Amino acid sequence: MIQTIRNAWKVQELRNKLLFTIFALLIFRVGAAIPVPFIDSNTLQTYMQAQSASIFGLLNVMSGDAFAYATVFALSIQPYINSSIIVQLLTIAIPALERLAREGGEEGKKKIAAITRYVTVAIALIQAFGYYTLIRSVEPSVLSTDGVWPAIVIIAAFTAGSAFVMWLGEQITEFGVGNGISVILFAGIVARGPAMVSSMINGVRSWANGSTTAATLHPAFIPLVIVGMLMLVVFIVFITNAERRIPVQYAKRVVGRKMYGGQSSHIPIKVNMSGVMPVIFAQAIASIPATIGMFVPSAQTEGSGWNTFLRIFDSNGLVYSIVYFLLIVLFSYFYNTIQFNPVEVSNNLKKNGGFIPGFRPGKPTADFLQKVISRLTLFGALYLAVVALLPAITGNIMSALGSSAGSNLAIGGTSIIIVVGVALETTKALEAQLMMRHYKGFLE
């Protein structure tokens, strides 16, 4: 990965793309530190720190601490992710949108992108109002001034910040390196690295001082956590690069006096074809109960019905884990269905005189490819779901052994998958562009 970045830095065009991506991420981090008016950020952060083991903690991780401090980018990229899910599902459900996506060409893609932007602003407006309702219900009050005008300013700031992050992500996709949404999520999670290390150090100090009020962490847990994370990273990299190669044989044909074809090739199918997107989308959907809870002030009152409802969906809870597991599996199948069409691949092979040994061209080949895709998708989905939930299980075990700091490991599983997955995808994008420029220079 480091070698790929070095090689890319030597190419002027790629160096400009890298600099643009870095500059865009700096803007994102600056916006994540600008507080919204009329809000006492420190008091709110104290409240959010107490909710770190809940779904609010996960939202805070994805925003790079912006959610806890109620900054301009507090909603981060979440409204855009939710909007993308809704529009893609509507594209399948509504025939007019499906025709626009498939047959509209470049113009159709632009219209779909415009619809996604409008839906993003609408969702951001709803979530901003919900977050404002949550802030109003926090005791002691974090609002310096209450009233209609402060409410309008706060909601407008959150909505505008989310829209700007969406635009920034699109600019990274077009002029930078990698997928803009994934890169922004990557930056937000990595930005919390120093805070996580500081939390572990404070936990050890609390244990050494015999404190029972702060989150404590036994020193023996630190090497176990580090080794476990390293093993998890190695496993994620291994599965991400794993692929099933389906052999393809091309028939020989005579054109004039020359014979063409007859060579062997293969179709590479990734075990985890959809990458980290199922995890990102599943996390966005799983955070809906917390979003609903924002609109209800009584949800922050201990013992109330809404408070009990939110606690059921804690990131360490059984219900949240089951829903999260099923959503990851569902979105894995959904994304693979969009990315790989067995019928289209079978028709292309047939047109080019290719066939898979042991299967007739046409429908038998398409059925075989569909069978392989279904099995690989199931394995890839189970891999993503298990890796995402394994730290949650480990955190519960640590909590049972007396370490309250273990509750945050549930959030760490999702973070590791996203960080490693985005790093690998971005590296592959750089390698592909380097390869393209290498061949271009060779042909010239």
- pLDDT band with cut points at 50, 70 and 90 for residue 44: confident
Mean pLDDT lowest for which of 131-145, 163-177, 303-317, 329-343?
A: 303-317
Mean pLDDT lowest for which of 56-65, 336-345, 352-361?
A: 56-65
Pick 52 or 349 by higher pLDDT: 349
Pick 145 or 311 by higher pLDDT: 145
pTM of the model: 0.78
In this predicted structure, the answer to whether residue 23 has a pLDDT above a threshold of 90 is: yes
Residue 266's φ and ψ, nearest 5 degrees, are -155, 160
Interval 365-383: pLDDT, tens: 889 999 999 999 999 899 8
Provide the residue type at 423 as one letter: A
CA 253/CA 364 separation, integer angstroms: 23
Which region holds residue 26: left if phi is over 0, alpha if psi is between -120 and 50, else beta? alpha
Q: Which two structure tokens, joined as six digits, stand for 400?
A: 């049972």
Given this model, what pLDDT does residue 162 score? 93
- Terminal C-alpha separation, the chain: 28
Given this model, what pLDDT does residue 54 score? 62
- pLDDT band with cut points at 50, 70 and 90 for residue 442: very low
Burial class (CB in 10 A: 0-12, 13-18, 19+), 286: buried
DSSP sequence for 63-102:
HTTHHHHTBTTTTTTHHHHHHHHHHHHHHHH-HHHHHHHH
